[in-house]
Structures are given as structure tokens and as C-alpha cells.
Amino acid sequence: MRYDAIVIGTGQAGPSLASRLAKAGRRVAIIERKLFGGTCVNTGCIPTKAMVASAHAAHIARRGGDFGVKIGGPIEMDMRAVKARKDEISGRSRTGVEKWMRGLENCTVYTGQARFVSAREMSVGEERLEAELIFINVGGRAVTPPMPGLDQIPYLTNSSMMGIDFLPRHLVIIGGSYVGLEFGQMYRRFGSEVTIVEKAPRLASREDEDVSAGIKDILEKEGIHMRLNANCLAFERRGEDVAARVDCTEGAPEVIGSHVLLAIGRRPNTDDLGLDAAGVRTDKRGYVVVDEELRTNVPGIWALGDCNGRGAFTHTSYNDYEIVAANLLDGEKRRVSDRILAYNLYIDPPLGRCGMTEAEVRGSGRRALLGKREMTRVGRAVEKGETQGFMKILVDAESKQILGAAILGVEGDEAIHCILDTMYAKAPYTTLQRAVHIHPTVSELIPTMLGEMNPL
Ligand SMILES: Cc1cc2nc3c(=O)[nH]c(=O)nc-3n(C[C@H](O)[C@H](O)[C@H](O)COP(=O)(O)OP(=O)(O)OC[C@H]3O[C@@H](n4cnc5c(N)ncnc54)[C@H](O)[C@@H]3O)c2cc1C
């Protein structure tokens, strides 16, 4: 079958791109091998944030007394109902994407594993498809590296976690970064005992040290056990349980839990795509090498989303679609480097992040200003009874442009956007400092913080 364009994968870039191309009159084929909507919709952002919401409800219910709310009896979880709610939200999104693609004029949906046969041809089962333009949006999956004993024990990943409808007695999470931390707090709030095992000396080690310490403090206060510096991991079965040898500098040499969740990173789904047959280059970790406009080394083939290693988020994958569509169809010249790094960590309170970290600013050697404010000094946080964390911002002393920020605190996931937008506007920090923000909000203290900066 001949098409004008083939899109591989229905994650966060593929469907929108297929839709744009089809509406522009191109004949499009889109191929999905598993679940429509990909990671975010089925095993990533949407289901985990739905579960974070259940965990938050339980947490607030337990804290009812702090707000003068009386609840008769202990707070108990109905894990089947938690899963059913999550499945409903995620399922609605999945069927929405599938219906959208199947109902699209000029677009044919194929289900099955796509493989390159040449730079212009793909196979899907018995079918052969051909097109001048091919867009790879195959995403990634959890890494399960060889670790002693791992093949002897049952373990969970972010995907298989979506299928469980019971409460693990003791969940041992291997990996103290974004995915592990979100699951850790969530299951602790559901009522599991939780231990987070991390080989680095601190959690979320790409963040600044004060941010890592703040996250640790928040989680430890909820009774999550931490085993940092876990350098020598090995597993073995102990009856019904699993023992993880951690070899940390502190504490017992092993952790015994009922379930193990591996959250130690992700890898791109490029190993079974037949990229060699097309001559598409990947780096040593398997990410498709792309230029600033997301073109691969083979003319006519692009790579979008997590599989190109230029982003690891839903919004970055969607922005990849915007870049490719604008350049191909609107005669624009958009580039990946126009994008400012921004993301959230959805523990509670959340971490909102954009731009450079303080460590990166220090490493750059430039003259900079730093503003910092504890959430105990943010009225909105006090009123809500959620005063953990802090916010900080970094500004270039010469250009006055904002370099980066972190808000670890209630509403930090939303408040970060006024800083991010000022960065996109390339406006000096004084523009934000003079903006009159609404009272009472977390954002209203950002101008105040900007007025109290000190040289870094
Ligand atoms: C637990 C977890 C929580 C997350 N939370 C957030 C969050 O809160 N916010 C955020 O921004 N990001 C979050 N992410 C990351 C986010 O899910 C991903 O960045 C995003 O889904 C990437 O989308 P994508 O378009 O690159 O590909 P994907 O969504 O992974 O989609 C790729 C699709 O391609 C299909 N496919 C792969 N290979 C083939 C093939 N050969 N043939 C046919 N089809 C194929 C796959 O089946 C899949 O459907 C989270 C991730 C995880 C794991």
C-alpha cells in the first residue's frame, strides 16, 4: 500500500501529526502495536496522576482533624475502587485516541508491530506499506537491567503496577527518581509499608541538593524508609517475600518486602524496529539521533517523542509534533532548542521545575542572583495547612533574564508557569517582579521573592 506518510506509534506526537497531515490532504497510515495513546495514557502520566489523586484524598481524610473535620473511624482504602477509577480515566483517553484515528478521513489505522524494510517501506504483519515520509514515535519502556537474582523473583514495573488491585504489604521500590518517588508516596498513603532503594547518595539526584533534601524530608515524614547509597543490589526469594541486598553504608544489609517495583529508568523502543534496514542512526543507548528539526540522518524520516532522547515528557513529545508540523506544513523554522526544560514531580506537595538548576548556574560561572523563600512564609500554604518545601529562582545578574526555578510546595506544579512564561517571553525578571498577582496564591510571593534576591 502506498501512502504519502507513515506514522509509527500513537503516543503523544503521532496522532496529532497524523491528523494534521490527513487534514492537509495527505494519505496517512498510522501503526500501533499495543495500546492506543501509548505510555502517558495507559501506563504513565494519566493513570499515575489519577492514583496520586486517590492517595491525596486518603491523606487529607487522615488529616481531617487538622482542619476541624471529624471522621468516624479509621481511613481505609478500597484498592479495587482506586484501580477502577484509574482504569476508567485512562480507558476513556485510550478509546478517545483510537476513535479519533479510526474516524479520520485520509488516515488508515494498522495494528501490529511496525518494522522498516527499507528507508521507504515498512512491514506490519503480512502488510507492506510504502511512503516518502516516515515519522517514528515509538516511545520507550522500563529498563530491567541484569542484576543478580532478578530473574529469580517476581517484580513489577510501572506497566504491571497498573494491573494490581490490592495493597502490597511492603513495597520495595528500586530507584529514587521521579517514577519511584511518585509510586512510593502513593502506596504509602494507600497504607503499604514502603522502602525506596537508591544507589545515589540522594533522591532525584539531577535536582539541586536542597531540593533532594526537601523531597526526602517530605517522604520520610510520611513514614517512607530510605536506603540511599545502595551500591550493590541483589535479590533472592525468602518464602513468600523477596529480599533485596542493598549494601548501603548505613542500616541493615538487606530489605525484605512483599513486592518489588523496578523504577530505574527507561529505554527507547528502537531495538525491534528494523532501523538498520533503513540506515537510521541511533546513539549507544538506542535513541534515534535527530537534528534540531527532529530529522534523522535519513532524508524523509523523522523521530519524535521519547525515542529521540531530546525529551522524556508528554509535553516535549507533543511539542515535537508542533515543530515537525510547523516546519513541514506551515513553512516555519521551529527548533527543539527553542524549548525550555520544564517538568513536575507529582509527589505531594509537588515539585515544579524550569530551566537551569542552581548547580548548573554555579557551574556556568556567570554572575547570578538567587531568591529563595520557604513555604512557611507563603500565606496560601499556611491557610491550606501545607507549608512543606520552598521556592527558589535564579536570575542572570547582567541580562536580568530568569535562568531557572524550582517550586517544591503546594501548587508548585501550577505556579511554576508564570516563571516559565516570563522565560519564554525573554523578559527581564523585573517584568514579573512588577506584575500584580492575585491574593492569596502561591504565585503572589514570586514577585516578592524576586525583590529579595542576593548574589549567588
Ligand atoms: C510512570 C510514568 C509516569 C509519567 N508521568 C508523566 C507526567 O506526569 N508528565 C509527563 O509529561 N510525562 C510523564 N511520563 C512520561 C510520558 O509518559 C512520556 O514522556 C510520553 O508518553 C512519551 O510519549 P511518546 O509520544 O514519546 O511515546 P509513547 O507514549 O511511549 O507511545 C509510543 C507508542 O508507540 C507504540 N510502538 C512502539 N514501537 C512500535 C512499533 N515497532 N510498531 C508499532 N507501534 C509501536 C507503543 O505501543 C506506544 O503506543 C511518565 C512516564 C511514566 C513511565
List strands edge to edge, sheet with 241-245: 234-238, 241-245, 254-257
The closest-lying atom of ligand 1 relative to the alpha carbon of residue 12 is 25
What's the pLDDT score for residue 269? 98
Query: CA nearest 28: which of 50, 53, 45, 3?
Result: 3
Task: Read off the C-alpha cell for 257.
Answer: 518486602
Sign of the dihedral through C-alpha 236, 242, 248, 252: negative
Q: What is the DSSP string of 24-53?
A: TT--EEEEESS-TTHHHHHTSHHHHHHHHH
Which protein residue has the closest C-alpha to ligand 1 atom 38? 138
Which protein residue has the closest C-alpha to ligand 1 atom 27? 139
Q: Is the CB of 48 under 6 A from ligand 1?
A: yes
Report the distance separating Cα 160 and Cα 139, nearest Å: 17
Q: Is the CB of 186 under 6 A from ligand 1?
A: no
Report the distance separating Cα 75 and Cα 77, nearest Å: 7
Task: Read off the C-alpha cell for 249.
Answer: 553504608
**Segments in the chain below pLDDT 70:** none
For 223, residues 6+ apart whose C-beta sits below 8 A from its C-beta are 188, 193, 194
Answer whether 404's CB lies under 8 Å from 355's CB. yes
Q: Is the CB of 11 under 6 A from ligand 1?
A: yes
The closest-lying atom of ligand 1 relative to the alpha carbon of residue 179 is 1
Per-residue pLDDT of 283-332, as tens digits, reads 999 999 999 999 999 999 999 999 999 999 999 999 999 999 999 999 99
Q: Is the CB of 137 under 6 A from ligand 1?
A: yes
Query: CA nearest 452: which of 372, 355, 388, 384?
Result: 372
Per-residue pLDDT of 238-249, as tens digits, reads 999 999 999 877
Which residue among 39, 52, 129, 173 has the greatest number of ligand 1 atoms within 8 angstroms of its CB, and so is best to mutate? 39
Which protein residue has the closest C-alpha to ligand 1 atom 35? 9
What's the pLDDT score for residue 340? 98
Task: Read off the C-alpha cell for 292.
Answer: 534540531
Distance (Å) from CA 269 to ligand 1 centroid = 10
Q: Is the CB of 39 under 6 A from ligand 1?
A: yes
Which protein residue has the closest C-alpha to ligand 1 atom 47? 34
What's the pLDDT score for residue 251? 80
Report the distance separating Cα 72 and Cα 69, nearest Å: 10
Q: Is the CB of 93 under 6 A from ligand 1?
A: no
Per-residue pLDDT of 166-177, as tens digits, reads 999 999 999 999
What's the pLDDT score for residue 435? 98
Which protein residue has the closest C-alpha to ligand 1 atom 9? 45
Answer whether 416's CB lies under 8 Å from 352's CB. yes
What's the pLDDT score for residue 249? 75
Q: Is the CB of 305 under 6 A from ligand 1?
A: yes
Task: Read off the C-alpha cell for 405.
Answer: 526555578
Active-site positions read 439
What's the pLDDT score for residue 108? 98
